């Protein structure tokens, strides 16, 4: 494709994503559906350019002030994902000179907001939590995430799949914590691989795999994935149960559960029962009260732990939105807890990095439910043979260890989990 035409397309996609009317991944997908002539290489350039602009929005907006022409074009030039020579062949002489000036700006000369590229309301909560690690965290959040796979150990072994991927020209290394994970460099096409087609692998962040591991679901049990979504953790739990027992995948979105169906078919699992519910107090849930062995609540949250993948969230989310989510998280956890039989395990998790969605919810639940014993997550991970479990945990106000994963420390998305056992 001609460089000028590709840059024009990048500018248009940047304009659409910066409207923030819809999630960026949906905007990009719709753009590609409307422009089917783009090949894989052009699509990669377009998507990565838009995502780079979202990641470094404050910096690029500052640099763009000294340029000329449409704002979205200037931003697309600054975030262009491709060879510099290719880009410059699409620029005017004035634009080339301006871009050279931008390239010469030293990071040390930038103001803090242009270095961290985070909304101000998010900066102080993160600084309070990670202290001197803030800049390492901010840097990690501005990078693209690696690609993690979960090997379906119902029908495959990690070492065998690793060799199979290597033969296909896709180097992968075992994830350091999850016993099911492989980490892949770049973004190779996976959907045509035999390993994918036969259900031996699924794309899933290592942190998400650890949430399923923590539930420790066993053969023959009754288990609920309360906010199943597209079912990534459901599939991991079902495999851990060796496709026995009964695993309910509940979600308020039938559309999200529809995305589980092809994945479920590939997985070979026969114990999963997806069900759309109206709300957390649905009659289907009431009928199961006191009957369930294990419940995972991967609660709807701000998603701010996934900024490497979804950088638009930091601009679309707000403190008010977080407070609304906290009320929803509290209600969902309350309803989910009623499902547990005595001796049952409850796991509350988010992909947020904000304490009010994490420790705040967990501490309030523990205070209100003396019949639920908070478990030390570090101890549970050690029992599960996870290496260096103490590196994955932080202490709560009650002294109980929670799972706390950070992109800059663990190379996963930001995750939180708390675990309770219901008293006999």
In tens, the pLDDT along 372-402 reads 999 999 999 999 999 999 999 987 555 569 9
- 145 to each of 10, 14, 193, 259, 260, how far by Cα in Å? 21, 20, 22, 22, 23
Q: Which of 213, 248, 210 is nearest to 231 (CA)?
A: 248
- DSSP-derived secondary structure letter, 356: G
Q: pLDDT value at position 248?
A: 97
DSSP tag of 108: G
Q: What is the pLDDT of residues 338-355, one digit of tens each?
A: 999 999 999 999 999 999
pTM of the entire predicted model? 0.95
pLDDT band at 185 (very low <50, low <70, confident <90, very high): confident
Catalytic sites, residue numbers = 351
Mean pLDDT to the nearest integer, 189-193: 92
Question: What is the distance between the alpha carbons of residues 299 and 233, in angstroms, rounded to a whole number?
Answer: 12
The arithmetic mean of pLDDT across residues 159-172, rounded, is 97
Report the Cα 134 to chain-centroid distance in Å: 20
DSSP 168: T
CA atoms within 13 A on the CB side of 205: 20
Which tokens is 239 given?
Answer: 């495999």
Q: Average pLDDT, stretch 134-138?
A: 98
Maximum C-alpha span of the chain:
76
The confidence score (pLDDT) of residue 348 equals: 98
Confidence of residue 281 (pLDDT cuts 50, 70, 90): confident
Residue 391, Cβ density class (10 Å: 0-12 exposed, 13-18 middle, ≥19 buried):
middle
Instruction: Answer whether 45's CB lies under 8 Å from 55's CB.
Output: no
The number of residues making up the chain comes to: 424
Q: In this predicted structure, what is the pLDDT of residue 187?
A: 86
| Residue pLDDT, tens place only, 363-374 | 999 999 999 999
Q: Check residue 1 and give its pLDDT.
A: 85
pLDDT at 276: 94
> At residue 76, does pLDDT exceed 90?
yes
pLDDT of residue 399: 53
Task: Retrieve residue 289's tokens.
Answer: 């009260």
Share of the chain above pLDDT 70, in %: 99
414 pLDDT more than 80? yes
Report the mean per-residue pLDDT for the chain.
Answer: 95
Distance CA 77, CA 96 (A): 10
Q: What is the pLDDT of residue 395?
A: 74
Helices (H) and strands (E) in the chain, counts: 22, 13
* DSSP tag of 38: -
**What are the backbone dihedrals phi and psi of residue 343, each rounded to the nearest 5 degrees, phi first?**
85, -5
């Amino acid at each position: 494709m001609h460089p000028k035409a590709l840059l024009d397309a990048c500018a248009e996609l940047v304009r659409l994503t910066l409207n923030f009317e819809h999630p960026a991944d949906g905007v990009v997908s719709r753009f590609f559906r409307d422009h089917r002539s783009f090949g894989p290489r052009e699509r990669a350039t377009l998507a990565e350019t838009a995502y780079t602009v979202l990641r470094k929005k404050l910096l690029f907006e500052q640099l763009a002030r000294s340029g000329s022409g449409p704002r979205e074009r200037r931003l697309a030039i600054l975030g262009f994902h491709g060879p510099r020579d290719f880009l410059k062949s699409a620029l005017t002489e004035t634009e080339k000179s301006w871009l050279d000036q931008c390239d010469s700006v030293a990071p040390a000369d930038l103001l803090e907001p242009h270095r961290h590229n985070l909304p101000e309301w998010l900066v102080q909560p993160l600084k309070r939590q990670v202290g001197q690690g803030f800049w390492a965290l901010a840097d990690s959040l501005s990078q693209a995430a690696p690609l993690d796979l979960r090997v379906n150990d119902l029908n495959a072994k990690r070492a065998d799949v690793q060799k199979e991927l290597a033969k296909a020209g896709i180097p992968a290394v075992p994830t350091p914590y999850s016993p099911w994970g492989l980490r892949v460099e770049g973004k190779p096409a996976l959907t045509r691989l035999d390993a994918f087609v036969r259900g031996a692998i699924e794309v899933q962040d290592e942190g998400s795999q650890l949430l399923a591991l923590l539930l420790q679901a066993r053969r023959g049990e009754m288990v609920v994935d309360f906010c199943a979504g597209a079912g990534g953790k459901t599939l991991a739990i079902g495999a851990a149960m060796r496709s026995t027992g009964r695993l309910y995948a509940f979600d308020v979105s039938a559309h999200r559960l529809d995305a589980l169906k092809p994945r479920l078919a590939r997985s070979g699992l026969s114990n999963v029962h997806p069900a759309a519910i109206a709300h957390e107090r649905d009659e289907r849930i009431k009928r199961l009260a006191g009957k369930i062995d294990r419940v995972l609540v991967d609660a709807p949250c701000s998603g701010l732990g996934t900024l490497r993948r979804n950088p638009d969230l930091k601009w679309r989310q707000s403190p008010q939105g977080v407070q609304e989510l906290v009320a929803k998280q509290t209600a969902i956890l309350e309803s989910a807890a009623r499902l547990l039989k005595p001796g049952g395990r409850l796991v509350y998790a988010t992909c947020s990095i904000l304490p009010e969605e994490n420790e705040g919810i967990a501490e309030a639940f523990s205070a209100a439910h003396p019949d639920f014993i908070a478990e030390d997550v570090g101890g549970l991970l050690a029992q599960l043979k996870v290496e260096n479990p103490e590196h994955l945990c932080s202490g709560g106000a009650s002294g109980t260890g929670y799972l706390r994963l950070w992109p800059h420390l663990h190379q996963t998305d930001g995750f939180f989990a708390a675990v309770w056992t219901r008293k006999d």
